Amino acid sequence: MDAQDVREHAESYCAALLDGDMDRAAEQLSRELRTNLGPLVAIQPLPLTEATVESVEVGGSGYVAMLRLIGESGEIELQTRWKDRDGRPTLVEASHVVVPAEPEAPVAPSPEA
């Protein structure tokens, strides 16, 4: 398993989410994640309008793929951890990455008339 393999599987996961095909998306998940799918689905802004793989990097004993998911109810970054299971990359953990909001620019006072 290498970064390109992980990217391909992460892209397949994103494509399935975009299509609204949770069964196909679940094929990328570990047995443990499939049995507890609710929390993973709950953090995603479904239905999605865009899903991209932002990066794939070595992380510990596997790989970390950062996904950007954009839907009708918002946008999130999802950090996914992939490990080799049965000879193929498998999503074993996912967590919502909180991106700090950019500070709002101060509003200039309006001139008094």
Q: Tell me the C-alpha distance between 78 and 107, whole Å.
A: 33
Percent of the chain exceeding pLDDT 70 equals 87
Q: What's 3-97's CATH class? A: alpha beta
Tokens of 87: 């000879």
Average pLDDT, the chain: 90
The pLDDT assigned to 60 comes to 86
The pLDDT assigned to 17 comes to 95
The strand pairing partners of 68, in sequence order, are 52, 77
SS3 100: coil
Residue 105, pLDDT above cutoff 60 = no
Residue 4, pLDDT above cutoff 90 = yes
Domains of the chain by residue range: 3-97
Burial group, residue 20, by CB count within 10 angstroms (0-12, 13-18, 19+): exposed
